[in-house]
Amino acid sequence: MVVNNWLVNTGFTVGVADIIAKPEIISEVKGILVSHKYKVRKIIKKAQNSRLKQQPGKTLIESFEVYVNQKLNDARTLAGQTALKSLASDNRLKNMVAAGSKGSEMNISQIMACVG
C-alpha cells in the first residue's frame, strides 16, 4: 500500500502538455530547417555546376550524398537541441530523454513539430 500510494502521488506519466511548444520555439525550429534547406540547395547547385569538392576515395555522387547528409543531420540535431532547451527542467519528456529511458533530442523536435 505504501508503494502504491507513493506511485499515485509521484507517478511518472507524459501528457500532451509536456510536448506543446511555444510559438517562438516553433518558429525558431522552422528557421533552422529553412536555413539548412538553403544550404542543401547550395550543395545541389555546386554539384550541378561541377564545382562540388570531391572527397578522397569517393565518387562525386558519394561526396554529394555525404555533404547533403551532413547538413540534414546538423539541422536535425540543432532543431532537437533548440526544442529540448525550451522545455522546463521539470518537463517529464525532457527528463525521460535526459535519463536515456526514451527517445532523443531528435524525437522531441519531431514531436513538437507535429503538435505545433
User: What is the domain partition of the chain in residue ranges?
Assistant: 2-115
d(CA 11, CA 67): 45
CATH 1.10.132.30 fits 2-115, yes or no: yes
User: Which positions ≥6 away from 21 have C-beta within 8 Å?
Assistant: 29, 83, 86, 112, 115, 116
Residue 108: is its pLDDT beyond 70?
no
* pTM score, whole prediction: 0.72
d(CA 8, CA 17): 19
d(CA 4, CA 15): 21
Residue 76: is its pLDDT beyond 90?
no
pLDDT 10s digits, 22-62: 889 889 989 999 999 999 999 999 999 999 999 999 999 99
Least confident of 37-41, 92-96, 104-108: 104-108
